[in-house]
Chain A
Amino acid sequence: MKKGLFIFIVLLFGFMLLMAGCSGTDNGVETDLQPDSDKVTSPPLPEMPIVITDQMGREVVIEEIPQRIISLSPSNTEIVFALGLGDRVVGVTEYCNYPAEALEKDIVGGFSTPNIEKIIELEPDLILASTIHEEEVPRLEELGIPVMVIESSTVADLFVSIQLVAIVADVPEAGESLVSSMQDRINAVGSVVAEVDQDEKIKVYYEVYSDPVMTAGQGAFINEIITLAGGINIFGDINENYPQVSAEVVAERQPDIILYPDYHGTADLVLDSMAGRPGWESIPAIQNSRIQAASDDIFARPGPRIVEAIEEAARLFYPELF
């Protein structure tokens, strides 16, 4: 029927994702990319104009190879730079702090509050948006600017997103090599932690937020990072992205290690509060002081640095193996 890829992802949206890029539940991605397959096959390269259907079910028509790209989320920015397209980026959000070159680009607003006027002024020929930009996307489209919504809730999605951006920007090889190098690093971690017996695996509690106690459930990217790093997310059974959970259950499930996102400058506060949390005295992670800060930018952004998050998590889980 249509040329190109069909991607349907239904996203449940939470404001928790303000900084994190987003994650969501995934209704199956029609793709032959699997994170556990060693060989990466790229989708067939279509001729210009490229027509793709993105996550908002919109057809995106790319007439020419984009030279002036605006990214509306930190994870999109990281993808574009990782593909070596940094020179073509003309605008980013105020939260796009990686790589360092991104800080020199014009800022078009916050993540959830991009400024349309500022965007138009930069005369982009491609905008990489996110599902949070539901309001802005149609307005930008009316103005004749192609907008592509990039949204990954799993590593497999992320690989597809990277390939898509690479194809649209006419650098398919860069996309393939980035994906395969990421896949290699994930496999490398996987082969090391594969030695750990299933019942020896470390039980991980990831505290997204302290009051109320909030964690990462099945739908969250964090859950996949923990799993790929050889850990067991104690709340991997909850079919939500960021459920609020009972402090009682955290105590009952006896995690061996606690991770929490290090938002700038909050690390010490969290650490203090965690150690003295009433009712958690018998948790092994607390008794053995295994409470670790995870860099939120790396752990929560569905971008190329996700492999760093997986490596970092594996090192924290099994320091004796790395």
Chain B
Amino acid sequence: MTGLVMLLFLTIVLGTMLGAVSIGWRNILVMLFDALPFYSSDRALEIAPVYRDILLQIRIPRVLLAAAVGSSLAVSGAVFQGLFRNPMADPYVIGISSGAALGAVFAMLSGFSLSVGGFGAVPLFAFFGGTLTILLVYSMARVGRAVPVMTLLLAGIAISSFLSALVSLLTYFAGEKLHQVIFWLMGGLSGATWLQVKVMVPYALIGYCCVSLFSRELNAMLLGEETASHLGVDTEKVKKILLAGASFLVAAAVSTSGIIGFVGLVVPHFIRLVAGPDHRFLIPASALLGGILLIATDTLARVIIAPTELPVGIITALIGAPMFIYLLKKRKKLKYFGGGG
């Protein structure tokens, strides 16, 4: 865990130092110290203001947003995998992404120009699209007071397919807004601003706390719901809170950066392969590794063929998948979900 914290710190430093424009680490240090409220340096005045803008307004917010988004995706992936006891589950498994995509595409095509708190229509609609989808899936899957996990999963898949079809339909008629739609669906962090960071980080923290408080109960749920309730876990309540927390994380991530795949699916498995399925460790470690992975891949996407940028999702899968396969081959025996899993 300490290692991961160190690694996260290191990737943040590297992500700040590397970019399409080379600023030089000395200048970066000078400007960072100069940006502190209680210290100002004369050396900072010698650096062209454009570099300060690049560092403080473009690069650092992007690195921090990558950390928040990567963490949120990895944590929610871990929760969904545990909750559904399904290694294939990812943050988007019950349709949040389709709902968010529908909201976003609808906002793009209708050309709404409203903005709330500095956010345009697209992220707002994406957020609400995602959260409404979860509510819909939840209420569809509910039988009396109980929500069977399998029903939830199937309802999620059904609704997700339906919403995806609507997204495709809208995309087909997008005309000259087609590229806008496609880029949003590909996801990316290139539009990162301090405003997004200021909103995303609290959201990520709230969602994370909400989820991590119940990691012990999530461990019990791995043994099956019946066993968990014998152990004194209020399974319905725990499910509700975990779903809400994880969905909240995903909706926030999707609305700031579109649909970034792979991170949420693979990072939790990575941690399980290395350290086993105990959620008390899995959730914080996933948060750290998710942040690390997304900062690292986004930094590569920014510098690999600078000044051209690549979509981050491509790099994430290109680098993450081989690493993951290597780990799979190395560990013959998997202990995924505790017990006999």
Contact = CB atoms under 8 A, between A and B. Distances in A.
Interface of A: 15-16, 18-19, 110, 209-213, 235, 238, 240, 243-249, 251-252, 254, 263-266, 269, 278-283
Number of contact residues on B: which range applies? 35 or more
Interface string B168-189: 0000000111111011000010
A183 to B, nearest CB: 31
Contact of A246 (B111, B178, B179, B306): B306
B182 A246 contact: no
A245 B307 contact: yes
A210 B191 CA distance: 8
B20 interface: yes
Given A15-B179, A245-B308, A252-B54, 12 more contacts: A19-B175, A244-B309, A245-B307, A248-B20, A248-B21, A249-B307, A252-B21, A263-B176, A269-B113, A278-B194, A279-B53, A281-B49
A19 B178 CA distance: 10
B100 to A, nearest CB: 16
B193 interface: yes
Interface of B: 19-21, 48-51, 53-54, 56-59, 61, 111, 113, 175-180, 182-183, 188, 190-191, 193-194, 302, 306-311
B309 A246 contact: yes
Contacts of B57: 278-281
Given A18-B176, A243-B308, A248 B182 contact: no
- Of A15, A210, A243, A252, which is in contact with the most chain B CB atoms at under 10 Å from its CB? A252
A246 B50 contact: no
B307 A246 contact: yes
A238 B307 contact: yes
B307 A235 contact: yes
Contacts of B111: 265-266
Contacts of A19: 175-176
A235 B309 CA distance: 13
A306 B121 CA distance: 35
Closest 8 CB pairs of A and B: A279-B57, A246-B20, A279-B58, A278-B57, A212-B190, A249-B307, A243-B308, A279-B53
Contacts of B309: 212-213, 244-246
Contact of A248 (B49, B54, B176): B54
16 contacts: A212-B183, A235-B307, A238-B307, A238-B308, A243-B307, A246-B58, A246-B190, A248-B20, A248-B58, A251-B21, A252-B21, A252-B54, A278-B53, A280-B57, A282-B48, A282-B50
